[in-house]
Every structure is written in C-alpha cells, then in structure tokens.
C-alpha cells in the first residue's frame, strides 16, 4: 500500500512539472520588490531585452522586418540596463554591457523553452502565458522610458 501511495505521489509531482515555466512574469517578480531596488529595475530591463531577442528569433523567417525591429529594441533595453548598472555598480560601462548582453541571451533561452511549452499547449508561443504579460509590460516600458 505504501509503494502504491509513493508511486501515485511521484507520478503527480512529475506530471505537474511537465509544463512548469522557467520564469514568472516580470510583474509577479516585481510584486515584492522595493520600487527603489535598482537591481530589480536592471533585471526587468534585461528581461525585456531577452524577450525582444525571443521575438526576433521566432519572427526571423516569417517577418524579417519585425525580427530586425525586435533585435534593435533588445539592444536598446540592454544599453539602458548597461548604463544603469555601470552607474549603480561603479563598473566600467564595457563590463556592464558585456554582463547585460550575456544575461539577455540567457533569458532569451528561458523564453524559448517556455514559448515551446506554450506552443505545445496552446498553439501560440506567447498568448495565454506570462510571456504575453511580459510583452505588454515591456512595450509600455519601451514607449514610456526607452523611447520618450
């Protein structure tokens, strides 16, 4: 009886994680952060940069012009984050930029994994997921902070 119960519990745990996401939405991440937390701000900007790289990747073949725009916006988010990181951490800008680009590419990988999981569930890379929430937030940040 104990073996059967153990098998059921393990099966439920494994099946529940089949669609577990790599990340939570940016908004959820920020929900318990202090508005003055510069690290959280930098992280959010890099998440937006990684998200734009994700969009550039999935749009590359079907809409190269949209892909190019997403790459440019990714760079603008990373530049903004690099400047802020350089000021806050007192690192050389080049070092901050290298760190931000590497982080952005790593985050893009997480979005790709979650996008594929979402595609398998819904037929869309981002609709009905935290990725769509991030898209809306990053679009707002881009329009109000990056391209004022």
- The per-residue pLDDT for range 42-97, each reduced to its tens digit, is 999 999 999 999 999 999 999 999 999 999 999 999 999 999 999 999 999 999 99
Quote the pLDDT of residue 4. Answer: 35
CA-only gyration radius of the chain, Å: 18
76, 142 Cβ separation under 8 angstroms: yes
pLDDT for res 11: 38
Phi, psi of 57 (to 5 degrees): -70, -50
Give the separation between CA 14 and CA 117, rounded to whole angstroms: 15
Residue-level pLDDT at 8: 39
Over the stretch 15-38, which tens digit does the pLDDT of each residue have?
A: 444 457 899 999 999 999 998 999
The whole-number pLDDT of residue 19 equals 54
Is residue 81 within 8 Å of residue 42, measured between CB atoms? yes
Q: What's the predicted TM-score (pTM) here?
A: 0.85
pLDDT greater at residue 2 or residue 22: 22
* 22/6: higher pLDDT: 22
Number of H helices, E strands in the chain: 6, 0
Confidence check: pLDDT of 99 > 90: yes
Measure the CA–CA gap between 121 and 130, rounded to whole angstroms: 14
Q: For all residues of the chain together, what is the average pLDDT?
A: 88
């Amino acid at each position: 009886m104990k073996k059967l119960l153990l098998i059921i519990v393990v099966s439920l745990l494994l099946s529940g994680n089949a669609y577990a996401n790599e990340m939570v939405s940016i908004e959820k991440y920020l929900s318990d952060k202090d508005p003055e937390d510069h690290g959280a701000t930098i992280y959010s900007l890099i998440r937006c940069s990684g998200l734009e790289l994700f969009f550039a990747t999935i749009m590359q073949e079907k809409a190269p012009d949209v892909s190019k725009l997403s790459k440019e916006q990714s760079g603008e988010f990373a530049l903004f984050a690099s400047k802020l990181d350089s000021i806050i951490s007192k690192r050389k800008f080049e070092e901050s930029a290298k760190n931000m680009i590497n982080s952005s590419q790593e985050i893009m990988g997480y979005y790709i994994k979650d996008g594929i999981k979402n595609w398998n569930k819904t037929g869309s890379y981002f609709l009905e997921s935290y990725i769509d929430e991030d898209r809306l937030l990053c679009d707002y940040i881009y329009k109000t902070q990056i391209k004022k």
